[in-house]
Amino acid sequence: MDLQGRRVAVVGMGGAFPTCSDLNDFSDKLFSNKSLIRVWDQAVAHDKQVRSKVSAYITDAEMNLETIYSTIVANYPETYVDLLQRIPPGNLSTADMGSIWAMLGAKDAIKMAGWSAEETQSEGTGVVIGSGGCGHALLRPAWHHVFELGGKSRSPGAHTVDRAMVYREAANVSCLIKNRGVCEAVASACATGLGNIGYAYRLIKFGVQDRVVAGGVETTSIESLFGFDAMQVLSRGFPPEESSRPFDMNRNGFVCSFGAGIVCLEEYEMAKARGANILGVIDSYFNNSDGDGDMFYPSFGGQRRLWKGLLGNSGIKPDVVKVHGTSTPAGDPIELFSVVDVLGEEGYHISAPKSQFGHMLGAAGAVEFITALLMLKQQAVLPCLNSVDLNPELENIQKADTWNGPRSPMQSFRHLLPQQSFKKEINTIACLNYGFGGTNSAILLSKDNS
Amino acid sequence: MERQEIIDGLVEILRTVRTIDPEKLKNVTEETDVIADLNTPSTELINIAAKAEQKFDVEFEDDDIDNMGSKVKDIVDLVIKVKERA
């Protein structure tokens, strides 16, 4: 069912990007084919307790923040100091690190959007931001102190709830910008970032809101890395910058990374009327579930239905497909085959931003949506870094009797997977993200050609 | 423990509460209301109480915390009462 609704423009973006001082630095590094992945000292410190030692992580200093640790509970971040005084102490006191990134990203995005205080604080403005993790950095020391060391519930202070609740980023941004519309979070594992933007798009399209601050966050957490490390799905054995290698034959897992991506969406005619700089127009959002009953394994059928829902009868063929492209052995072939199955073998390119900064989990879809906006702006395709050798043999899934997708090996699609950034006329980009539980999300994003 | 000694210690604790303007801590008296005069969110009182327990080496009962007022003298009285009780 495709209901005609209002059009939705993207008018602002911001966030927290590993090793980058700001959005421009992020853009410069990406289009220079750089990797933001490095050896993580926290993982190295745990030596043989953990397999993977690389990440695109963000330090306090890189964000001009300082963690103040509790004098009562060991290793517990009591609060944070903003060395540049961008966020008031009252807002910092209710935030975890990821919520601060969200607030900083929201401030930058709103500034870029050019929304007035009256517009920002109106009933027509919503906040929809989610994350994947659950505040490990706060909860682990707090509850260790209480349950293992016999501390009282009050020992960590009164902010374990607000700083670790599921929608903490949305709540903190809303309290900072004082909007009067909706404040919610969508959670869909690694599709969270795109899912929140998609939900925000629907809120505007169907007239519930005129403006929405939307996005996804994943705060730096060694516990998150440990969790995925236990599943043996993380990359190991490569130098950091070569660790994330979507579609490459020798890939052996993803790189667990962290960051935040925040965008401002606005009803198109309103944005146009006030002369806003329109970064892109969202043509369509679609999400679905695999229906395979499998928590982890990606689904060719689910992704094929995702594409059908995304494109509908629009006749649109994107110039670039910004894939999920995690660099896991199971995920990449199915995704590549589903893209080829729908779009054919010519006339578009595939971009895999995780090749440059790894998998930002709950932030992935939002930060990668920002990379799509940057591709529209630069009119250049971001690469599939490290996709050096593609399998010349058929994948096992292609050998099954039930397989009804492309029957050529991954190597046949070499021409779709650039290893370096390059200039190209780009009008439309499809953004894809998937998550545990068999959830799939996709957005179609176009340049404003009006 | 003298009252002024407790007030001084309390001011040190209040300096760690980032929401409080350090300027306002220059003239703290027993009548200063932590919430009304220092614009401290009420959620910070429990943090202040926990830090007071640590600083003055006392352990408050749950009722002590529930009944604690928000003026400096209320906290000083409580610390003295709990010390005497011990």
CB within 8 Å: B65 and A92: no
Please answer yes or no on whether A158 and B18 come within 8 Å at the CB atom. no
Phi-psi region of A210 (alpha: psi -120 to 50; beta: other; left: phi over 0): alpha
Average pLDDT over residues A307-323: 96
* Contact assignment for B51 to A79 by CB distance below 8 Å: no
- Name the closest residue on chain A to residue B40, using Cα atoms: A90
Scanning the structure block, which residue is given the tokens 């499809």?
A430
Q: pLDDT value at position A4?
A: 81
Residue A3 in this model has a pLDDT that exceeds 80:
no
Looking at chain A, how many residues does it have? 450
CA distances from A242 to A356, A357, A411 (A): 9, 11, 19
Find the radius of gyration of the CA atoms of chain A. 21
Question: Angle formed by the axes of helices A222-230 and A136-143, to 10°?
Answer: 90
> Does B19 contact A90 at a Cβ distance shorter than 8 Å?
yes
What DSSP designation does A254 have? B
Rounded average pLDDT over B31-45: 94
| Average confidence (pLDDT) over A180-197 | 98
| Residues of chain A with C-beta less than 8 angstroms from the C-beta of B43 | 158-159
Predicted local distance difference test score (pLDDT) of residue A2: 65
pLDDT digit string (tens) for B49-61? 999 999 999 999 9
Average pLDDT of A152-162?
95
Name the active-site residue from A324, A349, A384, A431.
A324
Summarize the confidence of residues A222-251 as an average pLDDT: 98
Distance of CA A142 to CAs A80, A132, A166, A214, A309, Å? 16, 20, 17, 30, 45
Residue A349 is among the residues annotated as catalytic for this protein: no
Average pLDDT rounded to a whole number, residues A244-273: 98
Instruction: Give residue A5's pLDDT.
Output: 87
Q: Which one of A138, A152, A160 makes the best mutation probe of the B interface by having the most chain B beta carbons within 10 Å?
A: A152
Mutation pick from B16, B18, B21 vs chain A, by most beta carbons of A within 10 Å, is B18
Predicted pLDDT at B1:
78
Residue range A118-137: mean pLDDT, rounded: 97
- Going by the DSSP 8-state scheme, the letter that residue A224 receives in this structure is H
The residue from A136, A145, A349, A359 that is catalytic is: A359
Question: Which residue in A has a C-alpha nearest to residue B16's C-alpha?
Answer: A68
Cα–Cα distance, B11 to A133 (Å, whole number): 37
Annotation says A46 is catalytic: no
Is A144 catalytic? The answer is no
pLDDT at A92 over 80: yes
Of A18-22, B42-46, B70-74, the least confident: B42-46
State yes or no: pLDDT of A27 exceeds 80: yes
Catalytic residue among A190, A256, A264, A384: A190
| Residue among B46, B51, B54 minimizing CB distance to A158 | B46
What average pLDDT does this structure show over B19-26? 93
pTM flag (> 0.95): yes
